[in-house]
Amino acid sequence: MLLFENKNYRDPNISPAGPEPASLSEDIKQRNAELVAQYQASLSGASAQDILAWAAEHAGPTAITLSMENTVLAELGARYFPAADFLFLDTGYHFEDTLLVANAVELRYPDQKLVRATPVLTRAEQDDTYGPNLYQRNPEACCRMRKVEPLQRTLGNYQAWVTGIRRADGPTRAHAPAIELDKAGRLKISPLVTWSLEETERFAEENELIYHPLTKQGYPSIGCATCTLPVAPGQDPRSGRWAGTNKTECGLHT
């Protein structure tokens, strides 16, 4: 327990109790592994359209994860993988604009189910259990409880998931594959790996997609409002995430 402001708080390394994510069967894990072995090399430089068309043909039930900093994946998913669900991690700490984008996506793409994954604890409950401003004192624990674990629980309903990872986002993603297995044996599919930030923005403009207002205000990568700052032109797009710390990833892709 931690002593903070005369109150004992739970150790942030111990997450609150919540439902355990469903596990994939060994048959599905094996099939996913065979797909990665057969297609990973050939899809490494493929177009986003071809990767999603491949996923629509070969992947089982799939969730397309949307951060809502842009809606490119929503548009591509609706075109090339209409059977997939959309998945939004509602951490409780988002910018208001991010939530408005999520609402607009739900209206624009009514044929896609938008699943909103939420943490076990509300912000107030987390403050009461672990102490206020955990995102400052222990950002790893905060991300684990509000992003990683909600994603794991929600992905229990799927055999594959689609991410918006781009190799150009920074050194931790420079060699990201188009398809791989995650730790649970699910297919992890990243159709935008070869895209640059400029290509992403151009696609959004040419197709008149829903856009996040903060992307026009120096926020090329948008996470929780408490942990995201604008960046200067030419900087690593993700350098505004957890600025002033050694943290570069929330844990979803590590």
Question: What is the predicted pLDDT for the residue at 21?
Answer: 86
241 annotated to a ligand binding site: no
Determine the Cα–Cα distance for residues 98 and 200; give it in Å rounded to an integer. 18
Q: Which residues are catalytic?
A: 250
What confidence tens digit (pLDDT) does each residue in 92-138 have? 999 999 999 999 999 999 999 999 999 999 999 999 999 999 999 99
- Domains, the chain: 26-227 (3.40.50.620)
Question: What is the predicted pLDDT for the residue at 229?
Answer: 85
64, 74 contact by CB (below 8 A): yes
At residue 83, what is the residue type?
Answer: A
pLDDT band at 239 (very low <50, low <70, confident <90, very high): confident
142 annotated to a ligand binding site: yes
What confidence tens digit (pLDDT) does each residue in 203-223 have? 999 999 999 999 889 888 889
CA separation, residue 138 to residues 79, 121, 181, 250 (Å): 40, 16, 28, 12
199 annotated to a ligand binding site: no
**Residue position matching structure tokens 């999603």:** 52
